[in-house]
Amino acid sequence: MLRLFVGIGLPPEQKLALSLIASGLPEAKWVDPGNYHLTLRFIGEVGENVASDADAALAGIRARRFSLALAGVGHFGTRMLWAGIEKNPELMQLQTKIETALIRAGLEPEGRRYAPHVSLARLIGAPGPKLTGYLSRHALFRAAPFAVDRFALVASYLTKAGPIYEDQAEYELKGSA
């Protein structure tokens, strides 16, 4: 069984920008900067045959290159602290194409509405007033835009030290950003 997701890796400059705001919150278990990525679709644990079908479906996607910018911070309830992505129609179109291709390949539809973000930390326990302070201090966070020219099918291996991500396949985007 493989634990898979479809994602976009971040360039070193964006990883550095995120790592510079990844502190100052005691109730946070920070994501290793090497693991920063933008998830397009979580697949979950699947067998080799489903992974192969997903790969074939993703290889058939045609989409143009585009640019993305990281902007703002937020949280999902008491679980996750994240950096946001500026609204981007090309990103949303790519995500829709991925979702459609994976459904056609036999995967169940994603049950949640897509909310593009980069996970910064898992929140431990109930977030206190320091979370509000953190969100205020970094509300205007913005990193330089970066070019997206590919996405990947990624395997996630869970370890005691944290997840290890390994690209299983990459898919190029065509055309200009």
Q: Look up 117 and say whether it is catalytic.
A: yes
Active-site residue, from 37, 41, 75, 138? 37
What domains are there in the chain, each with its CATH number? 2-172 (3.90.1140.10)
* pLDDT value of position 64: 96
Give the separation between CA 145 and CA 152, rounded to whole angstroms: 20
Q: Is 154 exposed, middle or buried (0-12, 13-18, 19+ CB in 10 A)?
A: buried
Active-site residue, from 117, 118, 151, 153? 117
Strands (E) located in 56-131? 66-68, 70-76, 80-85, 117-123
Q: Look up 37 and say whether it is catalytic.
A: yes
Closest CA to 7 of 51, 37, 45: 37
* pLDDT value of position 162: 87
* pLDDT value of position 177: 53
pLDDT band for position 78 (cuts 50, 70, 90): confident
Percentage of the chain modeled with pLDDT above 70: 99
Beta bridge partners of 148: 66
What is the Cα 175 distance to its own chain's centre?
A: 23
